[in-house]
Chain A
Amino acid sequence: IAGITQAPTSQILAAGRRMTLRCTQDMRHNAMYWYRQDLGLGLRLIHYSNTAGTTGKGEVPDGYSVSRANTDDFPLTLASAVPSQTSVYFCASSVQQGNTGELFFGEGSRLTVL
């Protein structure tokens, strides 16, 4: 089934540990995004990538890194997790960044940092 796949769907992590959230899309979309969603704060953009080989910082990039080695994959890494990074993380993609309004989201990864 075409779309975006995120893994893991849920994870409990000790503070200080390194964690990579995986995101893969098979729609050949150029642009990909990582958001976090917290109660009362809505969706906030962490990092994005307009095309393979390029990345950009969003609204809340600190403590996170991304890479875009190819079109399909856009992993998000927490180098040293902290409790404030407890959140639901959504990966998304779009044909291209610009006037397109349709983002396709993955089902989310629920991360708890203790």
Chain B
Amino acid sequence: SQQGEEDPQALSIQEGENATMNCSYKTSINNLQWYRQNSGRGLVHLILIRSNEREKHSGRLRVTLDTSKKSSSLLITASRAADTASYFCAFLNRDDKIIFGKGTRLHILP
């Protein structure tokens, strides 16, 4: 499959804890993006990391990229109830097609 693979498929954590999601891919990429989707709604862009970057921060989000392992991780620190959503990684494959992973469903418990 050309799709990215997110891991885990689902994650439940207590409010205030950190959440880590991983994305693996098979092709070489120029950059990788992470998106959030609240139930049944459109995706919202979170962060973009270029292939020559190893780590990027945006507020409570931290993204890492390891091109040698073809993987990326998204860390959400000090989680809040509003972080409950599905998270997707996305990248461009060799045929210039945009590929989204299957997503990680994150549930923040009060």
Pair from one complex: no
